[in-house]
Structure 1
């Protein structure tokens, strides 16, 4: 088995959002070297929220999405509700809180786990928890008005088209939607 040995780690930068470290590692048969490591302060959680569509509108299944700008990549795109897990909160509780904060919709179905993964495990220790649920109730306007320009229930067919055409580029959202489709949660009906 190939396992890298970690000899030391020193902090280069730390903030409430992210930390950067230089870690001295030694792969088998190779001299030790320093590797940059991004440390996340905690996990993030998101939820693919689905409902049966209004027969007079789209019919079929719909997914709750928000449309937002991401300044780091200077891109616009559709995303599922997601965000950081606060201290003392479970990932499922965080997914519900983030949905309400970002969209004004509270999931009503029980959250079902979809995946837990590390999106850039060669560079970062960040962990994402993904869930799905059936149904949500509108509880008011989003409590965080900085998150979304638009909030829409979108037909599954359109969601899958957005994935194919680059309208959804956020890694957490892409993974959540692709996994939900793979396990049969999202249907093309």
Structure 2
């Protein structure tokens, strides 16, 4: 069943996010107001692998959840920036490694029930260390982690970031076998 949008009004806007209150009708039900979070820029994630069955991860603290965890490099594309260039930039900034060739693994909606946030998950094959991460606030450490350890890290709650879980799971289940 398809919901019908009868109108939308912004209730908050900044350069990072816009929140609208939409007037929607659900077939067979009454009309409701539904909050929608809009993101003005595309988001990218990068699964960086090497020739030794390892993946490059960053260990970081997220103040919003109060949690530490492993993540893949990720971020927003700048307006007009090619998404492949954006993921290369994010990998360098967050890890201090220059990635090898990058290719799109998949595209997905991160929170399709409340948001229009779009992610493009890339695979980067190989990376060369060029120095420390250029933004020290992005990670506490950067490590090559054996791919065989990723499921265990996720099971123990050490990978809680949704975009990281999605990109790593997609890589392990689909892209790795192409």
Shorter-chain TM-score: what band? over 0.9
Deviation at 1:29, TM superposition (A): 2.6
C-alpha distance after superposition, 1:153-174 (max 9, x if no partner): 1111122221222110000000
Deviation at 1:88, TM superposition (A): 1.1
Residue 68 in structure 1 maps to residue 60 in structure 2:
yes
Deviation at 1:24, TM superposition (A): 0.3
Deviation at 1:184, TM superposition (A): 4.9
Report the Cα distance in structure 1 between the residues aligned to 2:174 and 2:25, rounded to whole angstroms. Answer: 38
In structure 1, the residue matched to 2:7 is: 8
- Equivalent of 2:111, from 120, 138, 141? 120
- Equivalent of 2:134, from 124, 140, 143? 143
- Equivalent of 1:177, from 147, 168, 176? 168
Report the Cα distance in structure 1 between the residues aligned to 2:58 and 2:72, rounded to whole angstroms. Answer: 6
Deviation at 1:16, TM superposition (A): 1.1
In structure 2, the residue matched to 1:34 is: 33
Over the aligned positions, Cα root-mean-square deviation in angstroms equals 1.2
* Paired positions, count: 177
Runs ≥4 residues deviating over 3 A: none
Deviation at 1:127, TM superposition (A): 0.5
SS in 2 for 1:28: coil
C-alpha distance after superposition, 1:44-68 (max 9, x if no partner): 1011000023xxxxxxx11000000
